[in-house]
Amino acid sequence: MAKRRLITKNRLMTKSKLIESVVRALDILELLDAEGEMGITEMADKLDMEKSTVYRAINTLRARYYVSQDPDTLKYANSYKLFEMGHNVVRNTGIPKMAYRFMRKLAQGSRGAVNLGVRDGKKVVYIDKIESDETVKVCMKIGQSIPLHCTGLGKALLSFMSEREVRGLLGRDPLERFTEKTHGNVEDLLADLAEIRKRGYSVDNEEHIMGILCVASPAFNAKGEAIAAISIASPKMSHNGPGCIEELGQAVYEAADGFTKSIGGRRPVYF
């Protein structure tokens, strides 16, 4: 029986490598994640699918509670089931629990919000945070994902990947620009990553949001792989004095390094 299942699986992979119905369902979930509530026609137009195909897929997702339908507008949205699954992934990794004491110490010595993020494809996902007590603060939601190339957390996670890996991940197309300070191409980003490796922390100086400064540093496992990054984010006006960014960078570096050592990790020697 096991051999038969293996043969069937191999045939499916040989035939197309991907199961089209699953791909369509995932496309719908990702579209709803990006756009919010949508109707069948809107989704069909955005995804260039037949309405009947979208209808069948959305009904399946609804039956399994991955999407819900507003009874008044009849539009569809992702349900909390996806959030629960993501929360379980984070909980099962144990990363937030292990990093928390280092985040707390960092938060006590700074005026910014302290964030913990992990890489998910081309994006960084915020998996834990400690809010700032300041009146003006930076609020990022747990579960929120942002492109790697324009964030402190994302660039910290990218910095110890090889040039080949970075190019393979981000591709050859121009990088999406969020402000005039966002890196617009991979060459500029690679030069920034080289500097990050030298000093041990990354700086997002209004690259994602104007007026916001974020400084981050990666944490590593025993293989020397960056498994997470810790950051401080705050309004830029709070850190205008000489040496402020360097002080923040050192503090974040020490927090990430402490986390790394606590789990038996090691900072790699870059290749």
Reduced to 3 states, what is the DSSP secondary structure of residue 29?
helix
Global pTM value? 0.67
pLDDT in tens, 220-246: 988 888 999 999 998 877 666 567 889
Residue 176 CA to residue 147 CA, distance in Å, equals 9
Query: Which domains occur in the chain, in start order?
Result: 2-78 (1.10.10.10), 89-262 (3.30.450.40)
pLDDT in tens, 100-138: 999 999 998 777 899 999 998 899 999 999 987 654 456
Mean pLDDT across the stretch 64-93? 79
Q: What is the token pair recorded at 214?
A: 């974020």
Which of residues 15 and 111 earns the better pLDDT score? Answer: 111
Reduced to 3 states, what is the DSSP secondary structure of residue 231?
strand
